[in-house]
Amino acid sequence: MTHYSITVTRSAVDGMHVAICPTLGGLSALGSTARDAVAELEEVIALALET
């Protein structure tokens, strides 16, 4: 399994957590918690790598 660096920040505008994978062109995902944002990003990464 390949591992990618993920950065999680919290939006000052709406309080949502934003997970970003800079290694894969800045793919990103949102979540109400940091854990949710990372889980969503993992799905986005999996879908991106399928194509």
The sign of the CA dihedral 18, 19, 22, 25 is negative
Q: Return the bridge partners of 27, or none.
A: 21
Q: Examine residue 1 and state whether it is found in any structural domain, yes or no.
A: no
Asked if residue 28 belongs to a domain, the reply is: yes
Q: Could you list the residue range(s) of the whole structural domain that residue 29 is in? A: 7-50
Residue 2 lies in a domain: no
Residue 31 lies in a domain: yes
pLDDT on residue 2: 83
Residue 26 domain-assigned (yes or no) = yes
- Residue 36 maps to a domain: yes
Give the total number of structural domains in the chain. Answer: 1
Tens digit of each residue's pLDDT, the chain (51 residues):
689 999 999 999 999 999 999 999 999 999 999 999 999 999 999 999 997
Closest listed residue to residue 7, CA positions, set 26, 16, 15, 46: 26
**pTM higher than the cut 0.85:** yes
Is 44 part of a structural domain of the chain? yes
- Confidence (pLDDT) at 31: 98
| Residue 45 resides in a domain | yes
